[in-house]
């Protein structure tokens, strides 16, 4: 059984389009995250939700809007896509946002290519 | 500014040749240090968490250690299947919510 799943795995789109990436975790975790991994493989946090509440919002363009319909799902919607948005986006989850035992478990990633 | 530096950027080993990967950090208020393994085209896979200086954890051929300034991931008698990128990340005591700050990773290649 997949613990953290993302769809789609690959996403190729034109500049200016709007797209969404979906994430689901079946671990019963309270906290979920979105990360961006650029071409140099540098992994950087974008957002974090704890029990559907936004708790971390890094310096990310407001074209990126996360949504958490319930604590098992965290989606990422991107408006007006730009070339620089091309990257691999990872979803992750942890049992809690703080304290011991909050190791993060990652999904397989979504490779976004903006043409 | 808090920083996480991993070295070397890339490491090539012969099968059976033991070595160590370094993760140094310049942060204040370390809550935990995490090691992950990432295979090409996949998400990072959790390996270890270390919380205090002097702590050590082991898993098969891997052993992670922590001091007040750095962490080492020791690989004993590596096999080709240990080839991957190894990421370290620090979690800080900052306010009500803590986040992981990752290093750039070390790409390990083990030749048969």
pLDDT in tens, A30-80: 999 999 999 888 899 999 998 888 888 888 899 999 999 999 999 999 999
Percentage of chain B exceeding pLDDT 90:
79
Q: Taking a C-beta distance cutoff of 8 angstroms, is the pair B59, B74 a contact?
A: no
Q: Which regions of chain B are under pLDDT 50? A: none
Residue A96 has pLDDT above 90, yes or no: no
What pLDDT, on the 0 to 100 scale, is given for residue A1? 67
Residue A99 has pLDDT above 70, yes or no: no
Chain B CB contacts of A104 below 8 Å: 34, 46, 100
User: Parallel, antiparallel, or unpaired for β B84-92 and B100-102?
Assistant: antiparallel
What are the φ/ψ torsions at residue B44 (nearest 5 degrees)?
-60, 140
Strand order in the sheet with B62-66: B3-7, B19-26, B70-75, B62-66, B56-59
Chain B CB contacts of A90 below 8 Å: 43-44
B48-51 contact pairs (CB < 8 A, 24+) = B49/A100, B49/A103, B51/A100
Whole-number Å distance between alpha carbons of A2 and A27: 9
CB contact under 8 A, B46 and A108: no
CA closest to A109 among chain B residues: B43
What pLDDT, on the 0 to 100 scale, is given for residue B54? 95
Interface test with A, best of B31, B32, B87, B100 (most A CBs within 10 A): B100
Whole-number Å distance between alpha carbons of B60 and B54: 20
Give residue A82's pLDDT band: very low, low, confident or very high (50, 70, 90). Answer: very high
Chain B CB contacts of A42 below 8 Å: 102, 104-105
For the beta carbon of residue A15, count every other beta carbon within 10 angstroms.
Answer: 11
Give residue A6's pLDDT band: very low, low, confident or very high (50, 70, 90). Answer: very high
Range list of H helices, chain A = none
Chain A CB contacts of B29 below 8 Å: none
What pLDDT, on the 0 to 100 scale, is given for residue B5? 94
Residues in chain A: 115
CB contact under 8 A, B85 and A41: yes
What pLDDT, on the 0 to 100 scale, is given for residue B37? 97
What pLDDT, on the 0 to 100 scale, is given for residue A39? 84
What pLDDT, on the 0 to 100 scale, is given for residue A81? 97
The closest CB to that of B43, out of A45, A58, A108, belongs to A108
Which region holds residue B68: left if phi is over 0, alpha if psi is between -120 and 50, else beta?
Answer: alpha
CA closest to B91 among chain A residues: A98
The closest CB to that of A103, out of B42, B46, B102, belongs to B46
Show Cβ contacts of residue B60 under 8 Å, excluding neighbours closer than 6 positions.
none
Question: Residues of B near A (CB-CB distance < 8 A)?
Answer: 32, 34, 36, 38, 41-46, 49, 51, 85, 87, 89, 91, 96-102, 104-105
Show Cβ contacts of residue B59 under 8 Å, excluding neighbours closer than 6 positions.
B47, B48
Percentage of chain A exceeding pLDDT 90:
73
């Amino acid at each position: 059984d997949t613990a953290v799943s993302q769809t789609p795995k690959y996403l190729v789109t034109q500049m200016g389009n709007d797209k969404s990436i979906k994430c689901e975790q079946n671990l019963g975790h309270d906290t979920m995250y979105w990360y961006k991994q650029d071409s140099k493989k540098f992994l950087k946090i974008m957002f974090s939700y704890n029990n559907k509440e936004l708790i971390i919002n890094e310096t990310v363009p407001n074209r990126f809007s996360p949504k958490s319909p319930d604590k098992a799902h965290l989606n990422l919607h991107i408006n007006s896509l730009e070339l620089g948005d091309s990257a691999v986006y990872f979803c992750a989850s942890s049992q809690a946002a703080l304290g011991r035992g909050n190791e993060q478990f990652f999904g397989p990633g979504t490779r976004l290519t903006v043409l | 500014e808090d920083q996480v530096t991993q070295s070397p950027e890339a490491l090539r080993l012969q099968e059976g040749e033991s070595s160590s990967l370094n993760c140094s950090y310049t942060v204040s208020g370390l809550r935990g240090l995490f090691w992950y393994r990432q295979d090409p085209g996949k998400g990072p896979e959790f390996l270890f968490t270390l919380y205090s200086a002097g702590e050590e954890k082991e898993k098969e051929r891997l052993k992670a250690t922590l001091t007040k300034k750095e962490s080492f991931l020791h690989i004993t008698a590596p096999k080709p299947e240990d080839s991957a990128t190894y990421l370290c990340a620090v979690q800080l005591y900052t306010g009500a919510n803590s986040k992981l700050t990752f290093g750039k990773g070390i790409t390990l290649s083990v030749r048969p």
